[in-house]
Amino acid sequence: MKRESKLVRCFLFFGIFAVILAVLSVLFYPKSNTIEAGVPERDVKLSGIFGAPENSVDVVVLGDSVSYTSIAPLQMWDEQGITSYVCAQSGQKVTEAYYWLKKIYEQQTPELLVLEANILYNYESFEKETNAALETHLGYYIPIFKYHNRWKNLNADDFLLKFEKVGRDFARGYVEKTGAQPYSGGSYMKQGRKVDEIDEVAEFYLEEIRKLCEKHGTTLVLVSIPSPRNWNYARHNGVMAYAKEQNLNYLDMNLHTKEMGIDWRLDTLDAGDHMNEAGAEKVTGYLGAYLKEEFALEDHRSDPAYEIWNENADDFEEQ
């Protein structure tokens, strides 16, 4: 076979394959943001942001379960008049955060991106992180990689491509947790010089996030939510080193627990891993005040366009 003919056949083979992947990706893509429609459970609350009116969110929070149990956007609205959305998932990796952010920018241009730093240390090994990054990358560009498991529940709507309007999450990504298991380990933020450096893969994608924010005019803010089980001073130093290098704001609330009034007997759900409802109220209050003051965000509470936020905040408070 001639060389040219071989090349043509090769292009044809991969071309047909690309078309098949594109068609299957549309078919397998969930037609609404529910578990029943095939959205993975950990993505459901996050994907509610795609149901929000365009350019209506001031602050987007990326992070893991520490974030979605600690930051209540409706409380923040009530106190500061800031519209925020917690786009966190259990065990979110920085790679995932990056691709979610890319997707969020298709509809929103937040003024601030709050990145909860615990995800920078969700690390197993270089190979596993690189492999996970590759999987996320493919899932973003070729959705069938991410939604392949939908073969179990494909239905007529999928074949008819009946996409439903994405439903907004009432709590804007916040997951309220009741119950308290005290943390009794004492001080966990002993000042020291030890630095727990951010691994290469996480730092690479953190850089990508920073550049993406820069491109869209969003201010990136690094934040650490109080969590004795996950945080320590070496990690604080690791994040601080990066923040200084890139001239970013870094708020480590683990250093302000007294000021915030955190009571480790009452405010944690599971002995210092996550916050409970009471802890979340304190974290949200402190973070909201910090963001408003530091970045002079506009108060939309009296803006009629944001009336739904007032209504939802009232309902949230009643709950």
Partner 1 sequence: MAYHTLLFLLVFLPLVLLIYQIMPRKFRPAVLLAAGYAFFFSFSRFLFVYLIGATIVMYAAGLLVDRMQQRFKEQKKGMERAAVKTLKKRVTARERWVVAGGVVLLVGVLAVVKYYNFFAQNLTELLHLFSIEGGLKTVTFLQPIGISFYTLQAVSYIVDVYEGKIRADRNFGRVALYMAFFPQIMEGPIARYEQTAAALWQGAPLSYRNVSMGAQRILWGLFKKIVIADRLNVVVADIFTYYQNYDGAILALGAVAYTTQLYNEFSGCMDIVIGTAEMFGVTLPENFRQPFLSKNVSEFWRRWHVTLGAWLKDYIFYPVSLSGWVKKLGNRTKERFGKHGAKIVVSAAALFPVWLINGLWHGPQWSYIFFGMYYFVLIMAGIVFEPLTARFHERHQNLAAHKGFMVFQIVRTTILVVIGELFFRAPGPRQGLVMLKQILTNFHISALFSAPMAELGLDIHDAVLIFAAVAIVFVVGLLHEKGVHIRERIEKFPTPLRWCSYYALILGNLIFGAYGDGYLEVDLIYANF
Q: Which is nearer to partner 1, 138 or 271 (CB)?
A: 138
Residue 2 in the binding site for partner 1 (CB under 8 A): no
Residue 141 in the binding site for partner 1 (CB under 8 A): no
Closest by CA to 238, choosing from 273, 202, 272, 214, is 202
Tell me, what DSSP letter sits at residue 275? Answer: B
Q: What's the closest the beta carbon of residue 170 comes to partner 1, in angstroms?
A: 23
Residue 138 in the binding site for partner 1 (CB under 8 A): yes
Q: Which is nearer to partner 1, 136 or 230 (CB)?
A: 136
Strand ranges, E, within the chain: 59-63, 84-88, 112-116, 219-224, 249-252
Sequence-separated (6 or more) residues with CB below 8 Å from residue 283: 70, 71, 225, 226, 253, 260, 275
Q: Which is nearer to partner 1, 151 or 170 (CB)?
A: 151
- Residue in 125, 155, 185, 265 binding partner 1, rule: CB under 8 A: 125
Query: Within 10 A of 201 (CB to CB), how many other CB atoms are there?
Result: 21
Residue 34 in the binding site for partner 1 (CB under 8 A): no
Closest by CA to 22, choosing from 143, 155, 158, 162, is 143
Q: Please say whether the beta carbons of 276 and 63 come within 8 A.
A: no
Interatomic CA distance for residues 222 and 231, integer angstroms: 14
Residue 6 in the binding site for partner 1 (CB under 8 A): yes
From the list 78-86, 101-109, 144-152, 272-280, the region that binds partner 1 by CB under 8 A is 144-152
Binding mask 48-87 for partner 1 (x = CB under 8 A): ----------------------------------------
- Residue in 32, 40, 51, 163 binding partner 1, rule: CB under 8 A: 40
Residue 144 in the binding site for partner 1 (CB under 8 A): yes
Sequence-separated (6 or more) residues with CB below 8 Å from residue 95: 129, 132, 133, 136, 137, 201, 205
- Residue in 7, 53, 55, 151 binding partner 1, rule: CB under 8 A: 151
Q: What's the closest the beta carbon of residue 130 comes to partner 1, in angstroms?
A: 5
Q: Which is nearer to partner 1, 17 or 170 (CB)?
A: 17
Q: Please say whether the beta carbons of 245 and 197 come within 8 A.
A: no
